[in-house]
Structure 1
Amino acid sequence: MDVPDGAVLFDMDGVLVDSETYWHRFEDEWVFAEAIESGSPAHEEVTGMPYYEIYDYLDAEYGTAVPRERFLATYEERAESLYGEQVALTAGVRELFDAIRADGRTLAIVSSARRSWINIVRERFGLDPLDLVLSAEEIDEPGKPEPHVYEHAAAELGLDPAECVVVEDSVNGIESAVRSGAFTVAFRSTHNADLDLSRADAEVGSFEELRALLLDRAA
């Protein structure tokens, strides 16, 4: 398999930390139960989107039962405890980050989460140094599943997206990476076990498998 040996761009939620399990619970208990007018959205419809675009999507598709300001404030309040106290780091993240740095490759986090949320995870789990951290809120373009955030990340690193490997877990995130032209790796876990991730170029189920794909030149 011809895997680019340039930058490695990691999504955060559901890849570096197990936050999607907690976000799905929040969606079931409040977002889908109280914040929409009717219907039963599937988690994959909104997973990977910036939270401020989730409101717009739900409003258009299902109608919203709470004002936008309350919706966003509730997400922001939930994020503080979720990232600061609840999530766990995925096994093997630090070891793989060290190996990528030792290999002389560029390392980045590219996420739909707010920069402040990413910083909580970076500091709590000691993920620095990173060559780039980019939040979707920092670009004046639509977020995932549109390709812009990965196009911007590659440009900031002075690379073509085709020189980058993106590691994603959501349908929307994978679509974003694929449409940017990056080599896209789907990270399979319990929260996305039943989803069709076949748009990705490759799939792994652990950071050990990911390390072999990224660093074993015979892969």
Structure 2
Amino acid sequence: MKKSILDGIKCAVFDMDGTILDSMTMWHTIADKYLMSIGKTPREDLWDNVKRLNMVETAEYFISDYGVEKTVEEIGIEVEKLIMKFYAESLQLKEGAEDFLRELNERKIPCVLATATERSCVLACMKRLDCEKYFSHIITCLDLNTSKSQPLIFEESARRCGAKPEESLVFEDALHAIRTAKKAGFKVCAVYDASNEELTEPPLTDWERILKLCDVNCKNLTELL
């Protein structure tokens, strides 16, 4: 264990998707899978067109650009069922995640799962993988009516552990969430995910920008053991 990164840490805050759970590929392909499930052929530009849309906007896009003859509500329900199936049945932890969580538990450092994913998906997945036990608290953005562009979910995670932001270490893979945590005074360990190679803000990749922000980084959590 690289003890220096945990010196003085009273709360470890973990993102789920792309940080401890190997799920970003699913998120990048869920629109394709949904369209194929209803007999539509996805175009190559599908991901680029939907990656910044919420569920309602994505459903509206399916209706307008793919001629899906369903309501926004019907599409939302069907996509959510498809997403739940992945969480409940197939998604797996990223390399080193469980060993690292176990190590933190043994060191008596409280761990919080702080995620933008809907709670029922989170619980279905964590229970299947027998990882719910590692977390003192599980908090979703929906619980707090917030997003990771706002610091509330990180602040609430620290508060529940009786820790200050500077006594907390956030494990994240997303550029916007890392920015938010750093601005709020949290230490950040960036965990690499293949999705970090995207050029959200050209000319640098997300990972190149993340490296300029984070306190420590790793390709996978095994590196921290």
Fold-level similarity (TM above 0.5): yes
1:90 maps to 94
Gaps of 5+ in 1: 47-53, 212-219
Deviations 1:148-193 (A, max 9, x none): 1111211222222221111111123223322332111211122323
CA deviation after TM superposition for structure 1 residue 120, in Å: 1.2
Report what 1:200 is aligned to: 214
**Percent identity over the alignment?**
20
Determine helix, strand or coil for the equivalent of 2:148: coil
TM-score normalised to structure 1 length: 0.76
Aligned length: 197
Residue in structure 1 matching 2:73, options 22, 44, 69: 69
Aligned position for 1:210: 224
Q: Does 1:152 align with 2:156?
A: yes
TM-score, normalisation: structure 2: 0.74
Q: Is the 8 A contact 2:30 2:83 kept in 1?
A: no
CA contact (8 A) 1:148 1:180 kept: no
Q: Which runs of 5+ in 2 are unaligned?
A: 36-40, 65-69, 199-204
Cα distance, 1:70 vs. partner? 3.6
Q: Which amino acid aligns with 1:210?
A: L
Q: CA, structure 1 residues 175+78, in 2 after alignment: closer, same or farther (shift >3 Å)?
A: farther
Match of 1:18 among 19, 22, 40: 22
Residues 25-60 of structure 1 deviation map (CA, whole Å, 9 limit, x = unaligned): 1145559x98xxx994474x46xxxxxxx247779x
1:136 alignment partner, one of 125, 138, 141: 141
Structure-2 change in CA distance of 1:10 and 1:2 (3 Å)? closer
Cα RMSD, aligned residues only: 3.0
Any conservation in 1 of the 2:13–2:112 contact (CA below 8 Å)? yes
